[in-house]
């Protein structure tokens, strides 16, 4: 048997089996990340409808927004009158972007873009030139807003229309009320941490809470009292937090890719800490595992004497050991 991290972390383990680490050769041109803009200066160049579109998105954040434009459209003017943005009513000068963490160029002016690009590079400021990917240090993905949950989709700027269509499909999958349980969880993080001192217990608790909540399909009706009840039943009143026993599950699949596996099986993979799997389970199915999950190939390997031990017995003993440590173990077999 071979131990290794989930495929997302395959670069950490060069000895992982080739069959389980094959991924597309194409690498990220843009690294997926969220930038903290709270209380920080963000500059938008231009005052037309395109700039207004970017501003409407930026106003969903806590950034300090500055618009640089001699003239602005009615929407931008209204934002300024409402005190939502700062308006610099002057032609662009390099020093106007001093202190900014990112700049959006919505002017559609190639000569100005050259100046802005040079100015941002000198100051190590990230630049986005609307609809001019070649000049962008970062791009803005399609966004599914369930604040504080934010689901983003990007095609690496090669097919923005496809990203928008995918977002529209997801709109029907994730209800707007999903934001309710995220807010409840956010407000209860410190309380849960105080009751559950170790990370494994906290992980178990949150997994159970979200699974129960989503399964009930009543995300909009969940209250802080429901979470408090879950916490009381998870940790007996007056007792110290202990690591609960883990669970083991065996699943047999016939699917050749992640798209075709049942939703319930996908959930089992996503919540498992340890996954024993057959060698012919597809790489993109194994990629559903958490980044910190441990994947173990069940292919038999000879010992130092060249003999192949009883793999089934060895796996059973390991599963028992891991569950006693409070881990959730999945045995994933190929039909």
User: What is the structure's pLDDT at 211?
Assistant: 78
User: What is the structure's pLDDT at 117?
Assistant: 97
User: What is the structure's pLDDT at 298?
Assistant: 87
Nearest to 321 by CA among 304, 296, 300, 299: 296
User: What is the structure's pLDDT at 204?
Assistant: 80
User: What is the structure's pLDDT at 303?
Assistant: 54
User: What is the structure's pLDDT at 177?
Assistant: 84
Nearest to 92 by CA among 62, 75, 116: 116
User: What is the structure's pLDDT at 262?
Assistant: 87
Q: At 126, list the tokens.
A: 């990230």
User: What is the structure's pLDDT at 328?
Assistant: 86
From first to last of its 335 residues, what are the pLDDT tens digits of the chain?
Answer: 666 666 554 433 433 443 444 455 678 889 999 999 999 999 999 999 999 999 999 999 999 999 999 999 999 999 999 999 999 999 999 999 999 999 999 999 999 999 999 999 999 999 999 999 999 999 999 999 988 999 999 998 888 899 989 988 888 888 888 899 999 999 999 999 998 888 878 888 888 888 778 765 677 788 999 999 989 888 543 444 444 567 899 999 999 998 888 888 888 898 888 999 999 999 999 999 988 889 999 876 655 555 555 678 889 999 988 888 778 899 999 98
User: What is the structure's pLDDT at 235?
Assistant: 58
User: What is the structure's pLDDT at 75?
Assistant: 97
Angle at 222 between CA 216 and CA 225, to 5 degrees: 125
What is the spatial distance between Cα 325 and Cα 22, in angstroms, rounded to a whole number?
Answer: 31
User: Buried b / exposed e across 164-192, counting CB within 10 Å, b at 16+?
Assistant: eebbeeeeeeeeeebbbbbebbeebeeeb
Domain ranges of the chain: 41-140, 144-173, 178-234, 245-334
Which residues are 252's β-sheet partners?
333
Please identify, in words, the CATH class of the domain defined by 41-140.
alpha beta
Which architecture does CATH list for 245-334? 3-Layer(aba) Sandwich (3.40)
User: What is the structure's pLDDT at 19?
Assistant: 40
What is the spatial distance between Cα 243 and Cα 328, in angstroms, rounded to a whole number?
Answer: 12
User: What is the structure's pLDDT at 34?
Assistant: 93
Angle at 261 between CA 259 and CA 263, to 5 degrees: 95
């Amino acid at each position: 048997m071979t131990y290794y991290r989930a495929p997302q972390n395959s670069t950490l383990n060069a000895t992982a089996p080739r069959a389980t680490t094959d991924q597309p050769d194409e690498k990220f041109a843009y690294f997926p990340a969220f930038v903290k803009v709270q209380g920080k200066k963000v500059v938008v160049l231009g005052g037309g409808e395109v700039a207004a579109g970017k501003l409407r998105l930026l106003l969903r954040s806590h950034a300090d927004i500055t618009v640089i434009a001699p003239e602005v459209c009615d929407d931008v003017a209204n934002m300024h009158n409402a005190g939502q943005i700062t308006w610099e009513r002057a032609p662009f000068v390099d020093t106007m972007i001093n202190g900014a963490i990112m700049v959006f160029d919505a002017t559609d002016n190639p000569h100005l873009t050259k100046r802005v690009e040079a100015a941002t590079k000198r100051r190590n400021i990230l630049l986005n030139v609307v609809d001019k990917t070649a000049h962008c240090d970062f791009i803005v993905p399609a966004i599914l807003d369930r604040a504080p949950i934010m689901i983003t989709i990007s095609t690496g700027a090669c097919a923005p229309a496809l990203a928008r269509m995918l977002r529209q499909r997801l709109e029907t999958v994730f209800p707007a009320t999903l934001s309710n349980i995220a807010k409840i969880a956010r407000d209860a993080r410190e309380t849960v941490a105080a009751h559950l001192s170790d990370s494994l217990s906290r992980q178990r608790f949150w997994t159970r809470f979200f699974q129960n909540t989503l399964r009930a399909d009543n995300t909009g009706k969940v209250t802080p009292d429901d979470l408090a009840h879950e916490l009381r039943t998870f940790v007996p009143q007056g007792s110290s937090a202990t690591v609960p026993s883990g669970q083991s599950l065996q699943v047999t699949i016939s699917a050749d890719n992640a798209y075709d596996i049942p939703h319930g099986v996908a959930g089992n993979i996503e919540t498992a800490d340890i996954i024993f799997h057959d060698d012919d389970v597809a790489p993109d199915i194994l990629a559903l595992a958490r980044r910190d999950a441990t994947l173990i190939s069940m292919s038999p390997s000879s010992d130092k004497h060249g003999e192949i031990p009883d793999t089934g017995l060895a796996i059973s003993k390991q599963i028992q050991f891991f569950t006693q440590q409070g881990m959730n173990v999945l045995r994933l077999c190929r039909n």
